[in-house]
Amino acid sequence: MRAPTVVADDSLPNRVTIYEVGPRDGLQNEAAIVPLETKADFVRRLLATGLPVVEVTSFVHPKWVPQLADAEDLWDLVAPLASEHATPMPVLVPNERGLDRALAKGVQHIAIFGSATETFAQRNLNRSLDEQFTMFEPVVKRAREAGMNVRAYVSMCFGDPWEGEVSIDQVVTVGRRLFDLGASQLSLGDTIGVGTPGHVTALLQAFEDAGLPSESLAVHFHDTYGQALSNASAALKAGITTFDASAGGLGGCPYADSATGNLATEDLVWMLQGLGIETGVDLPQLVATSSWMATHLGRPSPSRVVAALSEA
């Protein structure tokens, strides 16, 4: 079979937005540096599949993420595609220096990346949990004044490798504060992939109770324990309509060794197609793109759908 049998569920959204993170989150933890032209071609191919958002890179210091040291050069190569495809192409901005770089390149969509836990804030941002808000406040303010769209990620929402369980109340407090800086959307990250469907449902309900409804939220799942697609299904039932995913299931986190691949975009699209939910994504073309990238990385894609359709 090249497509799933469609059995629609009228209780679910009829369309979702897939926020593709493969070029940034997918590649950032690769040990071997991916050539600039390969990265640019990856972005081009992803845009051609009809993905509605493609996060391109991060304007982070090369010392911290060497894979993304070519951020400006990559942006120069792919920036014209944003208007050609009418597709937002965000970049991650860690601080005001990163924002300066984004402004210099005429970037229109940025994302900031906060933490729900003290330890990860220290390791990833070199700031305390409270200090991260002081760091991000001028970034968001200046970006908004420049007419940029700002997304806020909050990591370690379902567990932390150093601190263990993370309370739902703590996640909601941090997430609400990040969003209230002026973000248009808050993406809730299961950075180490320990979340389960019941946990997802409870967290989303807690955000709803705190005045942040599903339309303001996105979810970002990792598949460390094989729960990413189940968690996406739970989020869908809770009304979430924006899902982060990475082509071919690429990804990890350079500051959390236990974080393995992201939810594979192809696996998510297959599930959504089976539910009759529109994504605008050409699945065969996306599978071909992930298979192409897998040859450049020298290993098979971890996506089950990529493996199945590549052999079909």
Phi-psi category of residue 79: left, alpha or beta, with phi > 0 → left and psi -120 to 50 → alpha = alpha
Candidate list 253, 256, 264, 269, residue with the active-site label: 253
* DSSP secondary structure, 49-95, as one string: TT-SEE--EE---TTT-GGGTTHHHHHHHHHHHHHHHT----EE--S
Residue 227 φ/ψ region, left for φ over 0, alpha for ψ in the -120 to 50 degree band, beta for the rest: alpha
Strand segments, DSSP code E, in the chain are: 17-20, 53-54, 57-58, 91-92, 109-115, 149-155, 185-190, 217-221, 242-245
Pick the closest to residue 37 from 296, 302, 306 (CA basis). 296
The secondary structure of residue 263, as a DSSP letter, is: P
Give which of 303, 296, 196, 203 is closest to 249, Cα–Cα: 303
- Nearby residues of 214 by Cβ (< 8 Å), 6 or more positions away: 204, 208, 238, 239, 240, 241
The question of whether 253 is a catalytic residue gets the answer: yes
Catalytic residues: 253
